[in-house]
């Protein structure tokens, strides 16, 4: 069962994500600030991180850069309502994918499933 770390400071969104992923057979753990996201990302064994940018204590992109600099290589999907951060800026910081809020859970689930499959094989013919 894939384990997802969800870093989301809005309790309603966090609850929606947790319930939605658990209903689909995922194990989830929700944290609501940047320090918890950083600590859990470094110490626990997760298969994916869903990361909000606007976290208290420490911004999501700072958390992401710190985790990447410390060798955390799991897929990270940035999920944010902050329009001042572009898709490119999130990818440059180390994210594997980006999705804006509001979102449809079905679309998010599809992206998560693709990220969990890993990179597609490259045909070098």
Which tens digits make up the pLDDT trace of 17-50?
A: 999 999 999 999 999 999 999 999 998 789 999 9
Beta strand spans in the chain (E)? 3-7, 27-31, 48-51, 76-80, 97-100
In a domain, 123, yes or no: no
In a domain, 105, yes or no: yes
In a domain, 124, yes or no: no
Q: What is the CATH number of the domain that holds 83?
A: 3.40.50.2300
Provide the number of structural domains found in the chain: 1
Question: Where in the sequence is the domain holding 11, given as residue range(s)?
Answer: 3-115
Q: How many CB atoms lie within 10 A of CB 60?
A: 27
Distances (CA, A) of 99 to 3, 16, 92: 19, 16, 15
In a domain, 121, yes or no: no
Q: What is the pLDDT of residue 90?
A: 85
In this structure, what DSSP letter does residue 95 have? -
């Amino acid at each position: 069962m894939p384990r997802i770390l969800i870093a989301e400071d809005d309790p309603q969104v966090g609850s929606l994500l947790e319930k939605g992923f658990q209903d689909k057979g995922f194990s989830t753990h929700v944290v609501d600030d940047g320090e918890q996201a950083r600590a859990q990302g470094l110490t626990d064994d997760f298969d994916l991180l869903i990361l909000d940018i606007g976290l208290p204590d420490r911004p999501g992109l700072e958390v992401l850069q710190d985790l990447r600099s410390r060798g955390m290589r799991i897929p990270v999907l940035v999920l944010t309502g902050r329009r001042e951060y572009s898709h490119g800026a999130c990818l440059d910081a180390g994210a594997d994918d980006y999705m804006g809020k509001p979102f449809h859970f079905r679309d998010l689930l599809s992206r998560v499933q693709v990220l969990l499959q890993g990179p597609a094989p490259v045909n070098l013919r």
